[in-house]
Amino acid sequence: MFRYPNGKPYQPKNTPKKKQQPSIVYSNRGMTLEEDLNETNKYYLENQLAVIHKKPTPVQIVNVDYPRRSAAVIKEAYFKQSSTTDYNGIYRGKYIDFEAKETKNKTSFPLQNFHSHQIEHMKSVINQNGICFVILSAFNDFYYLDATHLLVFWERQENGGRKSITMEEIKEKGHIIPIGYQARIDYLKIIDKLYF
């Protein structure tokens, strides 16, 4: 059992069974957003384009069962601290920090996918002139959404407004990320366009 720093048990969300999508949908290629991003970042690193890594989630193991000498089973563990965002690194001398999120929702992106400590972390990165954004897998595409826009949507929710970002808002404020062969989710193209 995993626990958050406040002692509350971690409960994974029940995910509904996947429905078969038409073969033209990218998700049928067998990769998840995280796997695609990891492959993209590996390509960037190997070609000396950028150094971006997935941040490990700090976990403290409390109880381990050793049923036999060659196998260990973790029975209880705690998250040491709240995680911030998924990825960080450096590109062309600028600090990069971003979160990756997916939704199956067909009309909007629920803000409940983000946590307040992640939002606070993004604000801190922006205040230090870092490049901070989210990569959204939604509506059969990948979108780059600058964190400044996400913060506006988050504040709207905090003030009693809409609890999601509409598809139209994502298409207006976000940028579709081209899908490639080597750099599968080539988000550096968007960063080049916006910052360099």
Annotation: binding site for Mg(2+): 84, 86, 99, 118
3-state secondary structure of 153: helix
Question: What's the CA gap between 133 and 114, in Å, rounded?
Answer: 13
Annotated binding site: 84, 86, 99, 118
Q: Are 43 and 189 a contacting pair, CB within 8 Å?
A: no
Q: Are 99 and 109 a contacting pair, CB within 8 Å?
A: no
Q: Are 74 and 3 a contacting pair, CB within 8 Å?
A: no
In angstroms, the Cα distances linking 76 to 37, 66, 72, 81 are 29, 13, 12, 16
